[in-house]
Amino acid sequence: MTGRVEIFEVGPRDGLQNETAEISVAGKVRLIDCLSGAGFRRIEVASFVSPKWVPQMASSGAVLAAITRAPGVSYAALTPNMKGLEAAIAARADEVAIFGSASEGFSKANINATIAESLERFAPVAEAARAANLPVRGYVSCVVECPYDGPVAPEAVARVVAALRDMGVYEVSLGDTIGRGRPEAVDAMLGAVRNEMPADALAGHFHDTAGRALDNIEVALGHGLRVFDAAVGGLGGCPYAPGAAGNVATEAVHDWLIALGFETGLDRAVLDAAARIARDLRAGKDADG
Ligand code: HMG
Ligand code: MG
- Domain spans, the chain: 3-283
Residue 30 CA: distances (Å) to CA of 34, 56, 183, 265:
6, 16, 36, 22
Please tell me the least confidently modeled range out of 4-8, 192-196, 212-216, 284-288.
284-288
pLDDT at 1 over 90: no
State residue 241's pLDDT score.
Answer: 81
- Measured by CA distance, the residue closest to atom 3 of ligand 1 is 112
Q: Provide CATH code, domain 3-283.
A: 3.20.20.70
pLDDT at 287 over 70: no
* Residues 167 and 96: beta-carbon distance below 8 Å: no
Q: How close is the Cα of 182 to the center of ligand 1, in Å?
A: 30
Burial label for 263, CB within 10 Å (0-12, 13-18, 19+), is exposed
Q: Which of 42, 47, 49, 139 to mutate to test the pocket of ligand 1 (most atoms within 8 A of CB)?
A: 49
**Residues 217-252: pLDDT tens digits?**
999 999 999 999 999 999 887 778 887 889 999 999
More confident residue, 60 or 287: 60
State residue 158's pLDDT score.
Answer: 98
CA atoms within 13 A on the CB side of 287: 4
pLDDT band at 216 (very low <50, low <70, confident <90, very high): very high
pLDDT band at 289 (very low <50, low <70, confident <90, very high): very low
Hey, what amino acid is at 38?
A
pLDDT at 2 over 90: no
pLDDT at 256 over 70: yes
- Listed in sequence order, the residues at least 6 apart from 15 whose beta carbon sits closer than 8 Å to its beta carbon are 231, 232, 233, 235, 236, 246, 247, 278
- Of 109, 106, 107, 84, residue with least CA distance to 97: 84
Instruction: Reply yes or no on whether 238 is catalytic.
Output: yes
Q: What is the mean pLDDT of residues 250-273?
A: 97
State residue 153's pLDDT score.
Answer: 98
**Residues 90-120: pLDDT tens digits?**
999 999 999 999 999 999 999 999 999 999 9
pTM across the whole model: 0.97
- Measured by CA distance, the residue closest to atom 53 of ligand 1 is 14
* Residues 47 and 239: beta-carbon distance below 8 Å: no
State residue 81's pLDDT score.
Answer: 98
d(C-alpha 175, C-alpha 203), whole Å: 9
Catalytic residue among 34, 142, 146, 238: 238
For residue 13, give the 3-state DSSP assignment.
Answer: helix
State residue 288's pLDDT score.
Answer: 55
d(C-alpha 230, C-alpha 127), whole Å: 28
**Residues 21-76: pLDDT tens digits?**
999 999 999 999 999 999 999 999 999 999 999 999 999 999 999 999 999 999 99
Protein residues with CB under 6 Å of any ligand 1 atom: 14, 17, 47-50, 52-54, 78, 80-81, 83-84, 87, 99, 110-112, 139, 141, 175, 177, 205, 207, 238, 240
d(C-alpha 280, C-alpha 11), whole Å: 13
Q: How close is the Cα of 235 to the center of ligand 2, in Å?
A: 10
Hey, what amino acid is at 77?
A
Q: How much is the mean pLDDT over the chain?
A: 96
Could you tell me what percentage of the chain is helix, strand and coil, using 3-state DSSP and rounding each to the nearest 5?
A: 45, 20, 35
Instruction: Name the phi and psi angles at 99, rounded to 5.
Output: -135, 115
